[in-house]
């Protein structure tokens, strides 16, 4: 690690990965399908295989299940969180707030004080969502009873999970945990999830790659603007929702959820990106970044050829637009797994497709175009499935090469929501941020050491 980086390198972490400690089912070199790990070759060969898996991914939203039942390694005493590994003592305010809320929601505690006591007693374990094939927006807390989307990438033999989106503002993922927050979570669990699960079953799944591509051409960038994607999701599921035989009132509520929550598609998009990038993880010598994530204290990355190690640096406070009554002094440092979208070529990498996003995160339409153009300098490919109209349908820049980041000095661009630094308040704005350079410097140094004769 660079002495000036201020970052840290994490080992594998406290919990097994998405394949329960075993090597993920990657293809033999050049095959593109499930099988043995590729034979060692050059870095270019490894990256060609890695990016082939990214571009060939076929993420499909296949269903909804209870986290305890479907997420690998999930346990009754385990809470998953966003970003690299972190313990209670180092958690930021919004992450602590989401932990408290999750324990109240699970019925493990009746008050805030009881929830904190349960954690301090050591009876609750924590692990990154990424260690369990999952992703969570903002604080990213996934508790055992929460319903989660299930996305399968048959082309890569991978599966990923994400919670259902609560909407904007005062919600658990931003660290709020009032009774209104908990009641909405219960409503999602008892009403929304069962109806959507049945509709997905009747639909035979939703092709997320096609949905994302269409949404980009309708003005989304797949991270903070998902108006088109959410509308498309409702359109695809609509005919099947009416066949679920759900009571009229429940059906009306689900339709309203899809119609009024412009972020409804965000979480399945995140899971689609996770399933995509996991297919390219674990390829020896590859310099492809397969995960970027933040826990509200640190920003971390993982690199395909470096196993499950995290390379981290201090998370920065986003620059952006704040809701009335709030300012930068109220903001928590960057938090959330939603940067998996940028890792897969969306979000800040696809802002040229979404000039309207600047009304939410700040800047100008010209800035949105410049953001995407700059990202071509540090990526391995252009994804033809994610054509950008403003660039004559040029594919979105996809596949961050950690070497290119260090060589050019260009850091990935991220657009993001902003949480209040204190627990219990929620979202206070949205903005733009970049990862700390330390993450990429550490990874390049680790690669150099690993490849040294």
- What is the per-residue pLDDT for 181? 96
For strands 134-135 and 158-163, give the pairing.
parallel
44 in Cβ contact with 399 (< 8 Å):
no
- What is the per-residue pLDDT for 453? 82
| Residue written as token pair 């070497």 | 403
Q: At 88, phi and psi to the nearest 5?
A: -55, -40
Homologous superfamily of domain range 59-270: Enterococcus faecalis V583 domain (3.90.1710.10)
**Overall CATH class of domain 8-17+42-52+280-451:** alpha beta
> Residues in the chain, how many?
453
Question: Is residue 160 left, alpha or beta, with left meaning phi > 0 and alpha meaning psi from -120 to 50?
Answer: beta
For the chain, the domains span: 8-17+42-52+280-451, 59-270
- What is the per-residue pLDDT for 204? 98
DSSP three-state, residue 81 = strand
- What is the per-residue pLDDT for 7? 52
- What is the per-residue pLDDT for 452? 86
Q: What is the DSSP string of 345-377?
A: T-GGGGGGG-GGGHHHH-S-HHHHHHHHHHHGG
- Mention every residue, 6+ apart, whose C-beta is less than 8 A from residue 227: 219, 220, 262
Strands of 249-343 (E only): list them: 289-295, 298-303, 310-314, 319-322, 335-336
- What is the per-residue pLDDT for 424? 85
Q: At 30, phi and psi to the nearest 5?
A: 85, -10
Full pLDDT tens readout for the chain, 453 residues: 333 334 555 544 333 333 333 333 333 333 334 334 445 489 999 999 999 999 999 999 999 999 999 999 999 999 999 999 999 999 999 999 999 999 999 999 999 999 999 999 999 999 999 999 999 999 999 999 999 999 999 999 999 999 999 998 899 999 999 999 999 999 999 999 999 999 999 999 999 999 999 999 999 999 999 999 999 999 999 999 999 999 999 999 999 999 999 999 999 999 999 999 999 999 999 999 999 999 999 999 999 999 999 999 999 999 989 999 999 999 999 999 999 999 999 999 999 999 998 887 888 888 899 999 999 999 999 999 999 999 999 999 999 999 999 999 999 999 989 999 998 888 889 998 999 999 999 999 999 999 988
């Amino acid at each position: 690690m660079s002495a000036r980086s201020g970052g840290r390198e994490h080992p594998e972490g406290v919990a097994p990965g998405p394949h329960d400690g075993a090597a993920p089912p990657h293809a033999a070199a050049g095959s593109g399908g499930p099988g043995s790990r590729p034979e060692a070759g050059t870095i270019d060969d490894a990256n060609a295989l890695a990016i082939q898996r990214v571009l060939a991914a076929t993420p499909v939203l296949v269903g909804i299940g209870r986290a305890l039942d479907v997420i690998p390694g999930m346990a009754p005493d385990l809470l998953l969180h966003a970003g690299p590994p972190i313990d209670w003592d180092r958690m930021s305010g919004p992450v602590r707030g989401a932990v408290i809320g999750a324990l109240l929601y699970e019925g493990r505690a009746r008050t805030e004080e009881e929830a904190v006591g349960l954690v301090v007693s050591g009876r609750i374990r924590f692990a990154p969502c990424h260690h369990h094939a999952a992703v969570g927006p903002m604080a990213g807390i996934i508790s055992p009873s929460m319903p989660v989307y299930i996305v399968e990438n048959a082309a890569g033999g991978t599966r990923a999970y994400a919670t259902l989106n609560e909407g904007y503002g005062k919600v658990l993922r931003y660290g709020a945990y009032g009774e209104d927050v908990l009641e909405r979570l219960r409503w999602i669990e008892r009403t929304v999830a069962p109806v959507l699960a049945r509709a997905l079953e009747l639909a035979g799944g939703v092709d997320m790659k096609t949905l994302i591509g269409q949404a980009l051409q309708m003005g989304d960038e797949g991270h903070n603007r998902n108006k088109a994607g959410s509308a498309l999701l409702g359109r695809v599921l609509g005919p099947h929702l009416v066949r679920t035989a759900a009571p009229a009132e429940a059906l009306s509520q689900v339709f309203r959820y899809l119609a009024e929550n412009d972020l409804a598609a965000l979480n399945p998009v995140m899971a689609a990106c996770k399933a995509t990038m996991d297919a390219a993880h674990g390829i020896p010598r590859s310099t492809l970044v397969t995960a970027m994530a933040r826990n509200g204290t640190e920003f971390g990355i993982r690199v395909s050829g470096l196993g499950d190690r995290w390379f981290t640096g201090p998370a920065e406070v986003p620059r952006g637009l704040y809701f009335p009554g709030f300012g930068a002094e109220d903001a928590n440092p960057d938090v959330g797994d939603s940067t998996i979208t940028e890792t897969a070529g969306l979000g800040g990498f696809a802002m040229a497709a979404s000039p309207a996003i600047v009304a939410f995160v700040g800047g100008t339409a010209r800035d949105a175009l410049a953001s995407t153009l700059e990202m071509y300098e540090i990526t391995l490919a252009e994804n033809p499935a994610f054509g950008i109209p403003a660039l004559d349908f040029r594919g979105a820049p996809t596949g961050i090469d950690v070497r290119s980041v260090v060589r050019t000095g260009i850091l990935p661009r991220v657009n993001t929501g902003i949480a209040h630094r204190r627990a219990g308040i929620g979202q206070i704005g949205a903005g733009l941020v970049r990862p700390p350079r330390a993450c990429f410097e550490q990874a390049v140094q680790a690669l150099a050491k690993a490849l040294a004769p």
